[in-house]
Amino acid sequence: MKVPRLAERMDEASKNRIVNGLAALSASASQGGGNRPAGVRSTHAERQTAAMANMRRDAAVLAALRTQAGLRRIAANMANPVRDQLDYRGIYRQFVIVEQMPDGVPLIFDRDQPDVPAVVIGNQGTARVIEMTGIRTEVTPYETSARPKVPYAELYTRRYRALDRARERLIEGMQLREDLIGFGLIDTAARATNTVITVAGKASKSEFAKVFTQVEANRLVVTSVLMSAFGTQEIRKFPFQDLDQLGMQEVRESGYLGRLWGADFYVSDQIASGSIFALTSPKFLGWYPIRKDTDVIPADDPDNLQLGFVGYQFNGNVIHNTKGAALLEFTINQS
């Protein structure tokens, strides 16, 4: 099979630009400071070692550019897989207080003292007393894991870094599981105390106002709105006087829609199609204590010729104030 002579088609100026660019990237990475404390300079020996390492890398890249096999290796490191959709990015942590907990510390939170009751004179004119007692609750942590596997052959047949991509997909999967658990808690909380607003047809601005009121009637402020893409569809049908279009592009990249009526709007394809949640600020809504945040551990399977990772989380999760979540349900309008 004849291999295209890519090396011969590249002039020396193009090769030099690639070499200089890759050398600059490697030099900036090596000069990042590592774990060195701020203000501590490198010694002459360390600088000399780093310079020698950069020279070896530059020589290796230059040598690779002169051969077909080397050019293919460089192309494989620069290529990206063709994707049919954006990677998923978790957003649940935007709605709750996230707290890293030290090892061994119980996952306990103290609820605020109850509302002050009326005061009356006791029997036979006894002293007037108001007794305030808080409530302490312990959260049970749970484990979440994912275990992607990559066959060895994938390392040599893909034009991109298969292991790096597997690690990215693992973290994406962990964020997806985290959101699914959190969104389930929000859905349960929104149905527990406040009245679910049901609309037969499209969700108008009037219905949005009603679901906001469900939260605000409890002396809380709506700071976030969580919904599916169909909720975004309904908002886009509002007259332009009712909706600021700034931030619409961000929803396609990060799940953040924009700000409207004092609340940040978020979109996730993991929300039921006809559901819109109005949520109060994180400190009044939920707590997400973290025992162990997402950790990626190598987990190869040489017996089956597979490389792999294990993603692991060990966290708690609680929506402690059901009054801070309200739900609007509408019939999806495809027109």
Per-residue pLDDT tens over the stretch 219-240: 999 999 998 877 766 666 665 5
d(CA 203, CA 275) in angstroms, rounded, equals: 10
pLDDT in tens, the chain (335 residues): 444 444 445 556 655 555 565 555 555 544 444 445 444 455 667 777 877 877 787 777 677 667 767 666 655 555 555 555 566 788 899 999 999 998 888 888 888 776 666 565 556 666 666 666 678 888 888 888 888 888 877 777 776 667 777 777 788 888 888 899 899 999 999 998 899 988 887 777 788 888 999 999 999 999 999 988 777 666 666 655 554 455 444 444 454 556 677 788 888 888 888 889 999 999 999 999 999 888 878 888 888 888 887 888 898 999 999 999 999 988 876 55
Backbone angles phi, psi at 10, to 5 degrees: -85, 130
pLDDT on residue 299: 81
DSSP string, 132-174: ---EEEEPPPEEEEE--EEETTHHHH-SS-HHHHHHHHHHHHH
pLDDT on residue 43: 67
Positions of E strands within the chain: 97-100, 108-111, 135-138, 142-146, 149-151, 197-199, 222-227, 256-260, 263-267, 275-280, 286-298, 306-315, 318-319, 325-330
Q: Considering the chain, tell me which residue range(s) the CATH 3.90.1690.10 domain(s) occupy.
A: 143-330
Per-residue pLDDT tens over the stretch 251-286: 444 545 566 777 888 888 888 888 899 999 999 999
Distance, CA of 94 to chain centre = 9
Structure tokens at 37: 């404390």
- What angle separates helix 44-65 from helix 12-30, to the nearest 10 degrees? 150
Structure tokens at 241: 């006087």
> What is the average pLDDT score of the chain?
74
Share of the chain above pLDDT 70, in %: 62
Q: State if pTM tops 0.75.
A: no
Per-residue pLDDT tens over the stretch 99-122: 999 888 888 888 877 666 656 555
d(CA 332, CA 201) in angstroms, rounded, equals: 7
pLDDT on residue 323: 92
d(CA 39, CA 41) in angstroms, rounded, equals: 6
Asked if 327 and 194 count as a contact pair (C-beta separation under 8 A), the reply is yes
Structure tokens at 199: 């609309």
CATH 3.90.1690.10 matches 143-330:
yes
Residue with structure tokens 């994180």? 282
pLDDT on residue 191: 92
pLDDT on residue 85: 58
